[in-house]
Amino acid sequence: MSNILSLRNAAKSYQQAGEDLQVLKDSSFDIKAGEIVALVGPSGSGKSTLLHIAGLLDTPTSGQVLMNDRDISQCNDTQRTQIRRHMMGFVYQFHYLQPEFSALENIVIPQMIAGSNKKNAEKRARDLLSSMGLEHRLDHRPARLSGGEQQRVAIARALANDPKLLIADEPTGNLDPQTSDSVFALLLDRVRNQNIGAFIATHNMELAKRMDRVLTIKDGVVSEM
């Protein structure tokens, strides 16, 4: 399998009170197409910084970020937006659905922004939501959905543009244990079904063990368990 994402000696530092604060230190790893990789580490260890760099939401101070062996770490803002829109999907701890739109519309709109026509976007949205057991919730706005249903819609939205890489930050962190387990199982199933590479931060070691590999980060240093 080819590498969908690679970091090569990536580091990130910030200026704080006139001094360099190094948040990520000389990190290198690969995520292959179809591989699901967990990221675990204590609060303040650099997990969010690493996810932001991997997802092109931030740039490394030094080192490289490669996607399909192409160095994308120094792309301009327009290029980075296009890569995120067409190559990546994002799931966060909070669903961030648009409250004024239905579940269906929340999946349709990102596809139309990416260039899909409305008819195809609606079919894709219906198929995704149905695959997640939400065919009876298509017209419901987020406020009328349970927490687990909201997060399933958020996962469907992340998959709508057929990404090659999924970035997820504590995707079930706001859910109760039973709902968390079922939503996470659905996420893994969908990702494996579409042969997507996935990089998923979690504090839950039981969930981490269900993935293909586990990376740990502590004091900005990434290593493999």
Instruction: Please state the domain extents for the chain.
Output: 3-99+154-224
The 10s digit of each residue's pLDDT in 98-137 is 999 999 999 999 999 999 999 999 999 999 999 888 999 9
Query: Domain 3-99+154-224: what homologous superfamily?
Result: P-loop containing nucleotide triphosphate hydrolases (3.40.50.300)
CA distance 12 to 25: 7
DSSP label at residue 72: -
- For residue 55, pLDDT over 80 is answered with yes
Q: What was the pLDDT predicted at 136?
A: 93
Instruction: Report the percent of the chain where pLDDT is more than 90.
Output: 56
The 10s digit of each residue's pLDDT in 186-220 is 888 888 888 899 999 998 888 899 999 999 998 88
- For residue 1, pLDDT over 70 is answered with no
Strands 19-32 and 165-169: unpaired
CA distance 195 to 111: 19
To the nearest 10 degrees (0 to 180), the angle between helices 103-113 and 118-131 is: 130
pTM recorded for the entire structure: 0.89
CA distances from 94 to 151, 175, 191 (A): 8, 10, 19
Residues ≥6 apart with Cβ < 8 Å to 178: none
Residues ≥6 apart with Cβ < 8 Å to 55: 84, 88, 90, 167
Q: Residue 29 pairs with which residues in a beta bridge?
A: 7
